[in-house]
Structure 1
Amino acid sequence: MPSRDELRDHLIRTRIAGDVATSRENNLDHYRLLAERDPYLMLGLTLSEPWPFRDILALMAKAAGVVPDPEHLTGQDTIDPERVLDALDEMAEVIAGALAVPGARVLLATGHPAGLLPVHLALGRLAVAHGATLLEPAEGFEHVNPYFGRRRSIRYLEGVAILSDKGAFVHSHEAEPMRAMLAELGDDRPDLVIADHGWAGAAGEAGLLTVGFADSNDPALFVGEAEGKLAAVVPLDDHVLPRYYAPLADYLVTQVTRALGA
């Protein structure tokens, strides 16, 4: 496992944190759209509080480390590597608590198969090694993407749910696939969901113990965390090269293992 200092340096060097690729303009646009309750940015959540733009920006500055100044309108934005590290530790405690229960049932899903999939795979293997069962409900479920008009289906890779479009794993913000998975499970609910994008939002909205990953331009999961619907959300750039996430996954797996006393 990398040390905390080593991982911090790696996060900054690979732009998982620090000066990230997501532009300030894109972040602010998404905060405004969430304030207007744009369905694409809601990620399957409903919000209890008003959450105007200024409050979303203030939350994202605190939770993810974006620039707090509302007059900073263009150019570079940031994710605080210290907040990433703290959130990884928080996530590890939640995962360890769930895996400490014999026979835990875990649901994993990612809308970023070209980025975050290696992290989910590592956590799935860790869960199985500690006696958990990875659930695979609604495999083959099909629906039409409401934003692009494409028919997509749920497929699993080593227990991780991903959307497929004619054989290709695809990026997705959608919440409907997770809703279909939970509907098939019925009362046989998972003990833990590890996910991102709409997969995580829909699970948190359903009242499940949920942890997730989110970029600085996906504020809904952080708002969901603030409202108590998600247990932990790790801020990061969610679309760097997949191999760059390996040290982060190693750190997270080790922290979970330590928390379990294994």
Structure 2
Amino acid sequence: MPRTAALRAHLLAARLAGPVATSRERSLRSYRLFAARDPRVLLGIEPEHDWSFPELLRLMSDKCGVSANPALTSGQDVIDPDLTIAALDAFAERLAAAAAVGAPVLLGTGHPHRLLGFYASLAAALSAAGCPVLTPAQNRCIDITTQFGVRTYNIVYVRGVAMVREPGARNEARDPGCHSHSPLPIRVALGCAADRGGPLPRLVIGDHGWVCGAGQLGFEAIGLADADDPAPFVGQAEGRVSVAVPLDDAVRSAYYRPITRYVLNRACLSQ
């Protein structure tokens, strides 16, 4: 289809797929850490299977398109654009299914500087279709363990999308939120919603700890994942994440707009 061909060309030109900025060394390091069950890369997933490094490499080759050759240890990693498009189609199907029944949804991102526009567009389209866009635990204070020690953040919602922000940050244009891998924010948000008697989301849309943490708790979850993030793909393989879309999650925010249009068109949610 011409639209699919145009999207494929854009994925390659913007380096969302094909050779991406993620280094091979970084990807392999993440796979080894996941095999060792390092919580920094589990993103909230508690694997049922004892995933070895070779198994993870094969999985990421099958689902993401990285090289399955363990002897390839340097250079830039690769994401197969055809796998990205197939996953975007599945992603759009889940959006359409949620919109068809007016399902409550919750959106969250650990990449607000890059992906806020993508998720905010989905939130607006789903809201227009009759889906309640949930915002539980607004301004809730949480402590997250980071590489710099325990840091305090607030759960905030910008244009219907959850993220964490340092206390006192007010200029959304300069500081839309903080980069985070933690599943704690979605756990707190879902716990707050449950404590207040709901509603609870029928679908969680996000990345990093937002999608993995929700999936681990039994909520249907779909999201985006880079070549160095095996957790969402393991979650998908084990049945806790419905869709994991392989693409570079840290390119310029404007480069995600064609993806947004493609997904919303496929889901019949274009406004």
TM-score (norm 1): 0.95
Counterpart of 2:187 in structure 1 is: 179
Q: Distance in 2 between matches of 1:145 and 1:205?
A: 18
Instruction: State the shift of 1:40 in Å.
Output: 0.8
Query: Amino acid of the residue matched to residue 212 of structure 1?
Result: G
* 1:125-204 superposed matches below 5 A: 125-147=124-146, 148=148, 149-166=150-167, 167=169, 168=175, 169-186=177-194, 188=198, 189-204=200-215
Of 214, 217, 224, the residue aligned with 2:228 is 217
Q: Report the Cα distance in structure 2 between the residues aligned to 1:38 and 1:254, rounded to whole angstroms.
A: 39
How much has 1:76 moved relative to structure 2? Answer: 2.0
**Distance (Å, rounded) in 2 between the aligned partners of 1:55 and 1:37:** 14
Contact 2:46 2:216 (C-alpha < 8 Å) held by counterparts? yes
Q: Where do 4+ consecutive residues of structure 1 move more than 4 Å?
A: none
Whether 1:24 and 2:10 are equivalent positions in the alignment is no
- Other structure's SS at 2:165 match: strand
CA distance in 2, matches of 1:119, 1:163: 17
Q: CA separation in 1, counterparts of 2:166 and 2:79?
A: 31
Cα displacement string for residues 36-81 of structure 1 (whole angstroms, at most 9, x for unaligned residues): 0000100011010011000000000010000111110111210000
**Percent of residue pairs identical:** 43
Alpha-carbon distance in structure 1 between the residues aligned to 2:86 and 2:227: 16
| CA–CA distance in structure 1, aligned partners of residues 4 and 68 of structure 2 | 25
**Pairwise CA RMSD of aligned residues?**
1.4
Distance 1:76 1:247 in 2: 24
Is 1:208 aligned to 2:224, yes or no? no
Q: Aligned equivalents of 2:106 and 2:85: distance in 1?
A: 23
One-letter code of the match for 1:172?
S
* 12-21 or 90-99, which deviates more: 90-99
How far apart in 2 are the matches of 1:208 and 1:150? 27
1: CA distance, partners of 2:128 / 2:93: 17
- Structure 2 letter corresponding to 1:243: A
**Structure 2: runs of 5 or more not aligned:** 170-174
1:238 alignment partner in structure 2: 249
Deviations 1:171-208 (A, max 9, x none): 00011110000101116321111010001111000111
The SS at the match of 1:96 is helix
Deviation at 1:145, TM superposition (A): 2.2
Aligned 8 A contact 2:144 2:184 in 1: no
Q: TM-score, normalised by structure 2?
A: 0.92
Aligned residue runs from structure 1 range 90-105, under 5 A: 90-101=90-101, 103-105=102-104
Question: What are the superposed Cα offsets for residues 240-261 of structure 1, whole Å, 9 maximum, x if unpaired?
Answer: 0000000001000111117x9x
Aligned to 2:106: 107
Secondary structure of 1:20's aligned partner:
strand
Q: Structure 1: give runs of 5+ residues left out of the alignment.
A: none
